[in-house]
Chains A and B, each alone.
Chain A
Amino acid sequence: MSDPVFLRPLAAPDADKGQAVVFGPDQALLLDSGRSLTPFTIAYKTYGTLNANRSNAILICHALTGDQFAASPNPITGKPGWWQTMIGPGKPIDTDRFFVISTNVIGGCMGSSGPAEVNPETGEPYGLSFPLITIRDMVRAQAMLIDHLGIERLFSVIGGSMGGMQALQWAASFPDRVISAMPIACAARHSAQNIAFHEVGRQAVMADPDWHGGAYYGRGTQPSKGLAVARMAAHITYLSEPALQRKFGRNLQNKESVSFLFTPDFQVESYLHHQGMTFVDRFDANSYLYITRAVDYFDLAADHGGVLAEAFRGTKTRFCIISFSSDWLYPTAENKRIAHALNAAAANVSFVDIRTDRGHDSFLLDEPEMFATVRGFLNSVATREGVK
């Protein structure tokens, strides 16, 4: 195993780049597709201190376009970490008490092996030669990282959206290594509607003339317009109609009347344009293709004969499922379906639906009930496990 390296060239030179570990040919990552990835890198960031008996480690799994900078400023955007409200000293995931490991998934573009990263064997970026990956592959790679860090059992695996899928997959794949799991605002399978939205996004990327069949690296260009459109479509699914109404309604942007042109008239249009434009500065278009595909393939029940409860048969893991009432990407009913399957497996499960009109993105926002639930659940598991 070689020393940690960080391959991403985008970051400012003196920025906090996190850590990374390279797994050599003796530790190839075997993928669901039948292919294998070797060598490969997984980038991560830790917060807090691992205790003497290594019992206080919490793995944080990021959402579709998240990264390992959960609780510290993002080196590219300079913005606070995506869960800086949740993770830190005295916060619901208390780094005075827990050792938090936040990883960048494989397929990502913040230092883990992915299509934008250089293939060490060729010296060129992977592009579309990177193999297709699944949520289970992401979790396998994380497990190798956890092994590398010398941690046998995780106190908890926590994540929202795609991160929640990883938490579920962890509990299903490695039941003896996961003491507790908190899947938030997720589903045990990606629905047809969700796949449809992802396909719109992928087609937007691939229709951009600057995409060049995925081989745009080194051409001084990237499919920014396509990726921005993909992000705009996806972003709508992260919000809710009441939230959009409250924020923007049909208000016009810096004008008194409509322009009778196709330039943005409405505030909501400008907002989406902004979301699209800022996204392309920090995310790789090919990574977007690979990761949305991984989420589309996710169907935990299908991996267990179509019976979701079978994925958790005999589990000792304690679960806490959290949903948001206005989430239409992963609605309350999908989350409740997980809770019912866990019941059917006689698992120890809590299920909380938080009333809010802010949609799927609520898990990233200041939601006091979510904070109270996370804190209460972790405290009760800590008491039970004797973690001070």
Chain B
Amino acid sequence: MALRPDLAAIAAMIPEGTSVLDVGCGDGALLEHLVRTKHVDGRGLELSQQNVNACVTRGLSVIQGDADTDLGEYPSQVFDVVILSQTIQATWDPKSVLDHLLRIGRHVVISFPNFGHWRVRLSLLARGRMPQTKTLSNEWYDTPNIHLCTIADFVGLANVCGANIEQALALTPEGTTRAMRADAWIPNLMAEGAIFLLTSDTAGSVI
């Protein structure tokens, strides 16, 4: 099965043979791809027990756990890359989560839906109701996404956490990716989502 375009873009950022922790790894599709094709030493953390069991049955090393509470269990700087794919907006404390990711991994790859996308902006402006789009399809009262942000907001958080932005990609509605300037206003308007490669201030090395 082909990898979802945003996951394929993340996979392209991961070098061969590195150690990878995928936080919120879901059914393990990305992790399995990385283990098979990039021979990474891969681990996963996933909230849904059903997903965890499926991952382990596929031969992946995954444990049941919650990004909001369990990242503190991991020692510092043990993974080359920590991935947080389409999950940060569903965490209770995104800053604490990002702090932990930058502590645990030498590099952090993070993707999220862009709440600054023009459709989102227009929807609120025109309808006066909480926006629903293809990627943000829940009603406001039953959404898991409790901390939505725009690309500009995320850049602000990355700065607060002392992260260096090594690479930034815009996700288009067609599922393609292109490099973007993270601090420019056009990607914040046009990108449906974003993928960032971060390093912590102290990490230094480049993968």
Hey, which bits of chain A sit against chain B, CB under 8 A? Answer: 318, 320-321, 336, 339-340, 343-346, 348-355, 369, 372-373, 375-377, 379-380, 383
Q: Report the separation of the CA atoms of residues A372 and B41 in the bound assembly, to the nearest whole angstrom.
A: 22
Tell which of B56, B63, B73 touches A373, judged by Cβ atoms closer than 8 Å: B56
B140 on interface, CB distance cutoff 8 Å: no
Q: Report the separation of the CA atoms of residues A258 and B124 in the bound assembly, to the nearest whole angstrom.
A: 70
Tell which of A343, A369, A375, A376 touches B63, judged by Cβ atoms closer than 8 Å: A343
Contact across chains for A336 and B64 when beta carbons are under 8 A apart: yes
Known contacts A348-B61, A351-B64, A373-B57: A340-B52 contact under CB 8 Å: no
Known contacts A343-B74, A344-B73, A344-B75: A351-B57 contact under CB 8 Å: no
Q: Report the separation of the CA atoms of residues A173 and B29 in the bound assembly, to the nearest whole angstrom.
A: 35
Q: What are 9 A-B pairs at a CB distance below 8 A?
A: A318-B61, A321-B63, A339-B63, A340-B70, A344-B74, A348-B61, A350-B56, A372-B57, A376-B56
With both beta carbons as reference points, the residue of chain A lying nearest to B19 in the complex is identified as A346
Residues of A within 8 Å of B60, CB to CB, are 350, 380
Q: Report the separation of the CA atoms of residues A348 and B78 in the bound assembly, to the nearest whole angstrom.
A: 12
Question: A339-B63, A373-B57 provided; 17 other pairs, C-beta below 8 A?
Answer: A336-B64, A343-B70, A345-B75, A349-B61, A350-B52, A350-B55, A350-B56, A350-B60, A350-B61, A351-B64, A351-B65, A352-B56, A353-B49, A353-B64, A354-B53, A375-B57, A376-B58
B43 on interface, CB distance cutoff 8 Å: yes
Residues of A within 8 Å of B63, CB to CB, are 321, 339, 343, 349-351
B81 on interface, CB distance cutoff 8 Å: no
Known contacts A336-B64, A340-B70: A351-B52 contact under CB 8 Å: yes
Residues of A within 8 Å of B61, CB to CB, are 318, 348-350
Residues of B within 8 Å of A377, CB to CB, are 56, 59
Residues of A within 8 Å of B73, CB to CB, are 340, 343-344
Contact across chains for A348 and B41 when beta carbons are under 8 A apart: yes
B30 on interface, CB distance cutoff 8 Å: no
Residues of B within 8 Å of A348, CB to CB, are 41, 43, 61
